[in-house]
Amino acid sequence: MNRRHFNQMLGLSAAGILLPNVSSFGRSVDPSVLLESGLDVAVKKRLADAALTAAKAKGATYTDVRIGRYLRQFVITREDKVQNIVNTESYGVGVRVIANGCWGFSALVDAKNEADVARAAEEAVAIAKANSRLMKKPVELAPQKGYGEVEWKAPIKKNAFEVPIQEKVDLLLGVNAAAMKNGANYVNSVLFMVNEQKYFASSDGTYADQDIHRIWPIFNVTCIDPKSGKFETRNALSAPVGMGYEYLQVNPADKVTGITTRYNKGYDMLEDVTAAAQQAKQKLSAKSVEAGKYDLVLDPSHLWLTIHESVGHPLELDRVLGYEANFAGTSFATLDKWQSKNFQYGSKLVNFFADKTQVGSLGAVGYDDEGVKTKRWDLVKDGILVNYQAIRDQVGIIGEKESQGCCYADSWGTVQFQRMANVSLAAGQTPLSVQDMIKDVKKGIYIVGDGSFSIDQQRYNFQFGGQLYYEIKDGQIAGMLKDVAYQSNTQEFWNSCSAICDDRDYRLGGSFFDGKGQPSQSSAVSHGSSTTRFNGVNVINTARKI
């Protein structure tokens, strides 16, 4: 299933947010194999030490070794049928070195003995030395202390890979049946599950064993008007998360009241699909929006994507420096703006932070793929740009003394590089509910769910749509709208931020497949926020031709 087919099936459109071909994840395996444990930690340490020793003997001044076992499971259904069940496993070793001041990398599939791993390390050194002939400036790594033998495990309650396939199929077919019962003409539903078993060792003295889990339940419902033949869709309002199967077993106490069903700690797929079918039908008769200036009230299920594109990507330091442009362009947030110490990225209410430790987030790990202990740091403070996202060979450029811990590779066979951390908008400090926010809006639109978008190559000028749109008149919801998209630029938009709900409304959204690099890699990243208001934003009607 390639990206085009995936977008057709689910109605998603997001440049830089993609689903790679399933075959790229590794060999297909019997699902029972996925439950077998990987290599013992002692065995992985012996393999890593063999690589570290061999690389040093050949002249490497720095070496890191990543031993990875990557498990994926996809359960895909449509109406009353199972379309596909895919299980993949990929295992191997990647060795990265610095020799003669230059990077070198080599990888080996299904590595089982020290001799093979040592040869991969020697090859990495040979590549580094060959590359150094073209080097203009030697690599400079920020200092990094060794942590010894450490481990980190995602705090899951129920391993999704231990749940029987039949239970997952029954859930999805039940979701589909609920959609059809409530008026949907077509429905797709999918469960994506990932387990990364990663072991990292470096010549700095860190040996980190980590077990990472992610899950994403999604659906798309379509309702057709039999008279006109026109149709409307509504996608799931679920967020992909770094949790286990417990994400789908919701505690009613975690429910947040509002116009749409939403949960802070779980996701009720049946409740959401029932609402989705009814709302897709309502969209058929919704009023088409009148273009103009509106105050926008943006739900976290929508706002995560705007954060991803207009904050997460432009504050990746390699994009700022022009080293990276694939999938998401470069950045308008150049170093001179940061150096000025007064660049107004947003209003004084706007505080963006990066956090690789946030429990339940897609990007949560204990140590990144350079062995750096993860942390939280500010990107925008009281509206002012204060920092970027950077790794060991970049942070010296911005005067930092240690890496921020946001290095990642999507496989043992790919080179780790700077990837987006979980970038989130801090909740408001003053108690404020969604209902109270709406009461103060005279002419506005409340937007729920992410939709299609476009943004320029500097992550500045943009246009975003959503899933559901509600007109706000004199502090009241006045009915459903359609054909809505808003246009702005990053600085103007975030400076129009006038209110943010408190942390009772804070929720995560995110991308399961965020693309970057060449050859391309994908990573998973979350973005949190509370419902947020923006004043005087330009809204267009997407159905009217000029």
What would the pLDDT profile of 16-54 be if each residue is shown by its tens digit? 333 444 445 566 656 555 556 567 999 999 999 999 999
* Contact status, residue 371 vs residue 204, Cβ threshold 8 Å: yes
Answer yes or no: is pLDDT of 5 > 50: no
Domain membership of residue 249 (yes or no) is yes
| Cα distances (Å, whole numbers) of residue 153 to 197, 198, 213, 364, 389 | 9, 10, 9, 10, 24
Q: What is the pLDDT of residue 255?
A: 64
Residue 304 lies inside a defined structural domain of this protein: yes
Domain boundary among 233, 266, 284: 284
CA distance readout (Å), 124 to 120, 240, 333: 6, 36, 35
CA 494 – CA 535 distance, rounded (Å): 10
Tell me, yes or no, whether 327 and 280 share the same domain. no
Instruction: Name the domain boundary from 284, 311, 341.
Output: 284
Residues 317, 462: one domain?
yes
Confidence at residue 257, expressed as pLDDT on a 0 to 100 scale: 57
Average pLDDT over residues 484-491: 98
Task: With beta carbons less than 8 A apart as the criterion, state whether 320 and 331 touch.
Answer: yes
293 in a structural domain: yes
**pLDDT higher for 283 or 264?**
283
Residue 546 domain flag: no
Q: Look at residues 235, 256, 284 and tell me which one is the last residue of a structural domain.
A: 284
- pTM for this predicted structure: 0.92
The pLDDT, as a whole number, for residue 28 is 62
My answer on whether 177 and 48 are in the same domain is: yes
Residue 118, domain CATH: 3.30.2290.10
Residue 498 domain-assigned?
yes
Euclidean distance between CA atoms 410 and 520, whole angstroms: 10
> Do both 177 and 256 map to the same domain?
yes
Judging by DSSP bridges, how do beta strands 407-408 and 384-385 pair with one another?
unpaired
485: in domain: yes
Give the torsion sign (CA, 221, 172, 362, 108): negative
Report the percentage of the chain scoring pLDDT > 70. 90
Domain hosting 411: range is 287-541
- Same-domain check for residues 268 and 312: no
Least confident of 74-83, 418-427, 512-521: 512-521
Contact 5, 444 (CB under 8 A): no
**Residues 97 and 122 grouped into a single domain:** yes
**Is 280 a member of any domain?**
yes
Q: Please check whether residues 356 and 245 belong to one and the same domain.
A: no
Number of domains in the chain: 2
Q: Has residue 279 got a pLDDT over 90?
A: yes
- Work out the average pLDDT over 527-542: 98
Instruction: Reply yes or no on whether the pLDDT at 96 is more than 90.
Output: yes
Is residue 41 assigned to a domain? yes
Instruction: Please state, in angstroms and rounded to a whole number, the distance separating the CA atoms of residues 189 and 269.
Output: 10
Distances (CA, A) of 290 to 112, 474, 538: 64, 17, 11
What is the CA 336 to chain-centroid distance, rounded?
Answer: 28
Same domain, 301 and 278: no
Q: Is pLDDT of 253 > 80?
A: no
- Are residues 407 and 481 located together in one domain of the fold? yes
Task: Read off the tokens for 377.
Answer: 């740091």
- Cis bond upstream, residue 164 (ω within 30): no
Q: Are residues 220 and 331 in the same domain?
A: no
Q: Which residue has the tokens 């140590």?
A: 367
Do 18 and 50 reside in the same domain of the chain?
Answer: yes
User: What whole-number distance in Å separates Cα of residue 362 and Cα of residue 63?
Assistant: 27
Q: What per-residue confidence (pLDDT) applies to 7?
A: 40
Phi then psi dihedrals of residue 521, to 5 deg: -130, 155
CA 525 to chain centre: 2
Three-state SS for 194-240 is EEEEEEEEECCCEEEEEEEEEEEEEEEEEEECCCCCCEEEEECCCCC
Same domain for 475 and 398: yes
